[in-house]
Amino acid sequence: MKPLITLEGVNKYYGDYHALRDIDLTIGEGEFFSLLGPSGCGKTTLLRTIAGFETVSDGLVAIGGKDMAGVPANLRPTNMVFQSYAIFPHLSVAENVAFGLRKRPDIDKRTAVTEALSMVGLAGYEKRAAHALSGGQRQRVALARALILKPKVLLLDEPLSALDKKMREQMQVELIKLQRHVGITFILVTHDQEEALVMSDRIAVMFEGRIGQLADAETLYRRPRNRQVAEFIGKMNFLEADVQPAAEGYDLRVAGLGAVSVAAAQAPEPVHGSAGVVGLRPETLNLLFDGETTKQMLVDGQVDEVVYYGDMTYYDVRIQGVEKPLNIAMKNVIGRPVLDVGAPTRVVWDPRALVLFDRNG
């Protein structure tokens, strides 16, 4: 990865409020990078800091090896797509897109607009009135306008949040294709973990102005470094565990499951002391149905709650020695019944799916 954007020791205060705390970050050329986190964690502030709409209180922001201190937003090699699109409804599509060129009389408008519109799949829409477009099409006009100046970095602040679920999923795929096609760096702000997982090469998960973990989607999901990240990225069951360091990992005694050994890699951060918590994603657990056998580990349980989703059923299953029922996601397969509340069952679990956390981590 060739670095394009570097942030070193970035802090941002709004008065007394410490909105960004010691951010160190490198974003690569051509990378699809996401800033993900709950409301108020500072992701928009970080994006605006890169764009030049906010000044940093302390630290370095460099783009292409150049310190951006004192460089105003319009002179940075970045462009921003806002949540609201900021499309002018009384103008045509072409006029909206050409608005991105207002300070560049040197560029031939018509060719640039045609090129930008074809990039976002709206070739031939030049004359259409902007108010006569669907939400998804408006979003594409906003993208075309932001891309027309061929920035090195496109900054996207919750660009899909105004769209309905189906349209959002469609635009996610389109944005990935667009990013691959144009090859420039995209930085996306989102509070939607699924959106970040689907779209990004790498994701920075933020909490309270800090980066909690920076990794690719699979690492974040399978090896979250602490419970806060684990809980933000999807669902996870947590069970108390006694921990003994072993030669190549840890020996554990897990509440409800018993004795098991795990590899060092299953504890993304080293565990100090003897108190731990193990995490298990709902889809790594299975139920054993009548007539089925397994060589894997089993524990007896009882169905406490059933939520049927069509393709999946989510079960809460009580096991002995654990207060909170285990959440288990089962794919619905022909020939397997949906169990009723109260039914006895057996839970199949795989020690390799355990993630070990420090209890205080």
Residues forming contacts to ligand ATP in the complex (CB under 6 A) are 14, 17, 19, 37, 39-45, 191
Q: Which is nearer to ligand ATP, 39 or 111 (CB)?
A: 39
Q: Which is nearer to ligand ATP, 41 or 154 (CB)?
A: 41
CB of 59 to ligand ATP, least distance (A): 16
Indicate the DSSP class of residue 51. Answer: H
CB of 51 to ligand ATP, least distance (A): 12
Asked if 269 contacts 361 with a C-beta cutoff of 8 angstroms, the reply is yes
CA distance 243 to 227: 17
CB of 40 to ligand ATP, least distance (A): 4
Nearest to ligand ATP by Cβ — which residue?
44
- Both structure tokens of 41: 């964690």
Q: Which is nearer to ligand ATP, 46 or 154 (CB)?
A: 46
CB of 326 to ligand ATP, least distance (A): 31
- Both structure tokens of 350: 């795989």
Q: Which is nearer to ligand ATP, 43 or 202 (CB)?
A: 43
Nearest to 254 by CA among 186, 208, 322, 310: 322
Instruction: Centre a 10 Å sphere on the Cβ of residue 73 and count the other Cβ atoms it contains.
Output: 15
Q: Are strands 3-14 and 58-63 parallel, antiparallel or unpaired?
A: antiparallel
Indicate the DSSP class of residue 336. Answer: -
User: Got the DSSP string for 125-194?
Assistant: -TTSBGGGS-HHHHHHHHHHHHHTT--SEEEEESTTTTS-HHHHHHHHHHHHHHHHHH--EEEEEES-HH
Asked if 302 contacts 320 with a C-beta cutoff of 8 angstroms, the reply is no
- Both structure tokens of 179: 């990013």
Q: Which is nearer to ligand ATP, 204 or 330 (CB)?
A: 204
CB of 270 to ligand ATP, least distance (A): 29
CA distance 151 to 144: 11
Task: Find where tokens 């760096």 sit.
Answer: 185
Q: Which is nearer to ligand ATP, 43 or 318 (CB)?
A: 43
Q: Which is nearer to ligand ATP, 14 or 88 (CB)?
A: 14
36 class by beta-carbon count within 10 Å (0-12 exposed, 13-18 middle, 19+ buried) = buried
CB of 254 to ligand ATP, least distance (A): 35
Q: Which is nearer to ligand ATP, 42 or 159 (CB)?
A: 42
Radius of gyration of the chain (CA): 25
CB of 132 to ligand ATP, least distance (A): 30
CB of 78 to ligand ATP, least distance (A): 17
